[in-house]
Each structure stands twice: as structure tokens, then as C-alpha cells.
């Protein structure tokens, strides 16, 4: 049928051009942004997946920075405690010298002058060492908290030797609280529901032995046949918590301790501010105490060092996870430039051809004029 009111060929061509224009616009948008998904309409499911991955990646990258800051903080404390250790070593040396019977009272007074100066400097370092404006060696940076350690199965309790598989990460001196959770208790005398105890032993598999006092004799037998499978422990103490993961509760904790010389519950576990070496007896007393204090400082420095190493491994793992997550997101979200440039070239050619065909379609009705002559 020959008609001029409705140009079907022109309408078909216009429809094809509109579709081609949408495809060309999408290709140009993807090439301009570098992303395959620019709106939810492009790929609704892919957009949701990419958005979730983006949140995870940003969290992982921030966790890396958190761990790096934590490393700097711990290294700051370790550097200061190294100097404290050096001063305690010198004080011990002075104590050894003062305890010698060849010294006169004046000699010991002179030795004590340096001894007291070093004592004051130890305290000054403890009270003034800071990271990001916070004191790290006076005990103020550690926050008192409790941490759930999870359930302990009946099979995780050795009634005959006193070993309990509470969980990894515990250290000698940690205080834990037992929760029977309505079931049988591990021991009717010592490890009862709500009882607190201290870790005094750790074996190669990570199981611990407990005592009623820090450094006390371990409880080596229990009468509760392992307690029950719903029992649990909580860790009580003061520490700094570092967020080293993209999600909640992915943390590393560490206690910095109190290095002030007058703290009875600090790293030295006694008030050392009154020590002097003005007499042979006082020098011997200081010598014994300094030996113990140096060992305590060394133990705390070991904690600093192990935490730095742990944070280093955490950083490496976080960076690896972030890298793989970004690679996965790229496959979902990023544009394939090879495919998109080919698509753009195709749509441009179709646009040019379609425009030419539209001109031809619009010219067809003019042939009707030949019938009217």
C-alpha cells in the first residue's frame, strides 16, 4: 500500500536510531567513567555486590592504617622502656658497687646521688612518654574492660592435671572469670560459677592452668568432671584495643602497663620509689629488687615486641585481602575498554547508516507526486 500519512519505514528507522542512541550513550558513559555499572538500571544485582565490596575494601584499608598507627604507638612505648631498662641496669650496677665493703659512707652517698637521679628519670620517662597526646607508660592509656572468651567444652577440661582449653591469646597473669551458665561447675571449691582466677601456666597447645592469686600455685585437680558444654570464661583487665579488621570485634588488645616508680600494681609489682644504696643492707635490698624489676620490664618489652610482630602480620594479611577484594569488585563494576570501544564504534556506524536510511525513508512519500501528474 502506498500512503503518505503514515511513513512506516521512517518510524522503523527512528525506533532503531533511538535504541542505537541508548546503546551509544551507555558506551560513552562507561568509557567516560571507567565503570560498567553507573546506575542501578545498568545491573541492579551487580551494583549491590559492588557496593558491599566497596564498604569492605574501605574498611580493610582503614584497618591497615589503624594497624600502622598501633605499631607506631607500641614502638614508641618500646623505645622508652628500653631507656628505662638501661637506667635500671645502671642502678643495679651502682647497687652492686655500693654493697662492696670497701666503700665508705661518703662513697655510698655519692653513689646514691646518681642512683636517685636515675630513679627520678625513670619516673619522668614513665609520666611523660606520649603518643598522639596520650601518656602510654603511666597506666592511663589502658582501659578496664571484660572480653568474652567463648565456650569451653567438657572435653577441654583436664580434671587430673588442671589444664583448661579456654582459648588462644591468654598470657601469664591474666585474670579470668568463670561462668557455669546454669550447668555443672568445674570445681566445687575453686572454679565455681562467678569465681575469678589468674593464669599461672600455659602449655604448648595453649591450654592454661589457673590459681586464686597472680603467680600462685596452680590448681591441678578438679572434682567437676569437666563442668558442662555451655560453660565459658571472660577475660578481665586493662588494655588498649586496636581495630584491625573491617568488621566489628576484629581487634588486637595489649596492655601497656604502669612504669611509675610508686605504683604498687604496676609493671614492677611494688613501690620502688623508696629504694636507696646509702648503706650496705639497703644496697643489697635494692639489688634484689632491681633484678626482679628488670625481669618485669623485659617481660613487658617482650609483649611490645610480640604485638608489633603480630600487627605486622595483620597488616600483610589485610593488604592481601583488600587486593583480592578490589580485584573481585573490578570484575563486577569496571568497564572493559576493549569491548566498550568496539561497542561505541559499532553504534556510531549504525547511527550514520540509520541517519542516511531515515533520509531515504522520508523521501519515499515524494514518489506519490508522480501518480498525481
3-class state of residue 73 by DSSP: helix
Q: For 326-338, what is the mean pLDDT?
A: 89
- Is a pLDDT exceeding 70 seen at residue 168? yes
Residue 179: all three cell numbers together: 561462668
**Is residue 1 very low, low, confident or very high in pLDDT (cuts 50, 70, 90)?**
low
**CA pair distance 157, 165, nearest whole angstrom:** 6
Helical H segments across 197-279, by residue range: none
**Is residue 292 very low, low, confident or very high in pLDDT (cuts 50, 70, 90)?**
very high
Query: Cβ–Cβ contacts within 10 Å for residue 249, how many?
Result: 9
**CA pair distance 45, 151, nearest whole angstrom:** 38
Query: How many C-alpha atoms does 195 have within 13 Å on its Cβ side?
Result: 17
Question: Which tops the pLDDT comparison, 370 or 306?
Answer: 306
Determine which of 109-113, 255-259, 338-342 has the lowest per-residue pLDDT on average: 338-342
Q: What residue has cell string 655510698?
A: 108
**CA pair distance 349, 20, nearest whole angstrom:** 10
For the chain, the average pLDDT equals 90
Residue 170 is predicted with a pLDDT of 83
Q: Report the percent of the chain where pLDDT is more than 90.
A: 59
**Is residue 20 very low, low, confident or very high in pLDDT (cuts 50, 70, 90)?**
confident
Determine which of 61-75, 122-136, 200-214 has the lowest per-residue pLDDT on average: 200-214
Question: Which tops the pLDDT comparison, 17 or 71?
Answer: 71
Question: Which tops the pLDDT comparison, 30 or 96?
Answer: 96
**Is residue 40 very low, low, confident or very high in pLDDT (cuts 50, 70, 90)?**
confident
Residue 102: all three cell numbers together: 670497701
Q: For 346-355, what is the mean pLDDT?
A: 88
* CA dihedral sign of residues 163, 168, 174, 176: negative
Q: Report the percent of the chain where pLDDT is more than 70.
A: 99
Amino acid at each position: 500500500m502506498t500512503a503518505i500519512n503514515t511513513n512506516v519505514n521512517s518510524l522503523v528507522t527512528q525506533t532503531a536510531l533511538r535504541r542505537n542512541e541508548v546503546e551509544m550513550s551507555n558506551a560513552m558513559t562507561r568509557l567516560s567513567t571507567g565503570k560498567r555499572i553507573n546506575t542501578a538500571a545498568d545491573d541492579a544485582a551487580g551494583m549491590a555486590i559492588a557496593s558491599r565490596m566497596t564498604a569492605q575494601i574501605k574498611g580493610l584499608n582503614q584497618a591497615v592504617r589503624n594497624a600502622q598507627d598501633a605499631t607506631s604507638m607500641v614502638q614508641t612505648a618500646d623505645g622508652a622502656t628500653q631507656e628505662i631498662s638501661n637506667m635500671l641496669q645502671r642502678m643495679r650496677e651502682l647497687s652492686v658497687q655500693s654493697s662492696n665493703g670497701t666503700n665508705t659512707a661518703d662513697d655510698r652517698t655519692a653513689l646514691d646521688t646518681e642512683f636517685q637521679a636515675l630513679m627520678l628519670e625513670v619516673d619522668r620517662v614513665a609520666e611523660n612518654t606520649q603518643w598522639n597526646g596520650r601518656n602510654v607508660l603511666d597506666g592511663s592509656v589502658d582501659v578496664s574492660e571484660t572480653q568474652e572468651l567463648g565456650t569451653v567444652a567438657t572435653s577441654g577440661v583436664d580434671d587430673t592435671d588442671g589444664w583448661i582449653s579456654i582459648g588462644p591469646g591468654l598470657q601469664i597473669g591474666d585474670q579470668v572469670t568463670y561462668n557455669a551458665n546454669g550447668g555443672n561447675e568445674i570445681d566445687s571449691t575453686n572454679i565455681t560459677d562467678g569465681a575469678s582466677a589468674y593464669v599461672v601456666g600455659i602449655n604448648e597447645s595453649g591450654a592454661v592452668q589457673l590459681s586464686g592469686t597472680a603467680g600462685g600455685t596452680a590448681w591441678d585437680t578438679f572434682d567437676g568432671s569437666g563442668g558442662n558444654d555451655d560453660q565459658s570464661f571472660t577475660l578481665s583487665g586493662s588494655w588498649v584495643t586496636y581495630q584491625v579488621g573491617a568488621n566489628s570485634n576484629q581487634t588486637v588488645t595489649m596492655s601497656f602497663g604502669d612504669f611509675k616508680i610508686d605504683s604498687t600494681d604496676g609493671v614492677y609489682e611494688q613501690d620502688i620509689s623508696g629504694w636507696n644504696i646509702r648503706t650496705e643492707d639497703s644496697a643489697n635490698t635494692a639489688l634484689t629488687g632491681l633484678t626482679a624489676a628488670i625481669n618485669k620490664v623485659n617481660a613487658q618489652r617482650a609483649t611490645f615486641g610480640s604485638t608489633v610482630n603480630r600487627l605486622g602480620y595483620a597488616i600483610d594479611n589485610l593488604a592481601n585481602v583488600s587486593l583480592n577484594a578490589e580485584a573481585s569488585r573490578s570484575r563486577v563494576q569496571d568497564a572493559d575498554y576493549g569491548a566498550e570501544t568496539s561497542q561505541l564504534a559499532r553504534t556510531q556506524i549504525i547511527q550514520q547508516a540509520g541517519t542516511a536510511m531515515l533520509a531515504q525513508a522520508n523521501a519515499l512519500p515524494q514518489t506519490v507526486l508522480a501518480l498525481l501528474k
